[in-house]
């Protein structure tokens, strides 16, 4: 399991987006979600890379 401290930032961003979804158009939401997914994937690649180096 990944350390919750690593996921907390993204969880908060997603929950904030859900709480404020009425302030955005569907297109805006798609762009924001795309950025979040890319950030999460980049962080995941870093974690995997670091794990491989320490094995």
pLDDT tens per residue, range 33-49: 999 999 999 988 988 89
> Using CA of residue 3, residue 5, residue 10, residue 14, what is the dihedral sign?
positive
- pLDDT greater than 80 at residue 3: no
Read off the pLDDT band of 1 (50, 70, 90): low
Which tokens belong to 13? 């961003």
Residue closest to 33 by CA, chosen among 25, 8, 46: 25
Please state whether the predicted TM-score (pTM) of the whole model is above 0.85. Answer: no
Residue closest to 10 by CA, chosen among 31, 41, 53: 41
CB 32 within 8 A of CB 17: yes
């Amino acid at each position: 399991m990944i350390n919750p401290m690593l996921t907390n930032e993204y969880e908060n961003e997603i929950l904030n987006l859900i709480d404020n979804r009425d302030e955005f158009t569907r297109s805006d939401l798609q762009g924001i979600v795309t950025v979040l997914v890319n950030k999460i994937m980049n962080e995941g690649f870093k974690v995997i890379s670091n794990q491989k180096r320490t094995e």
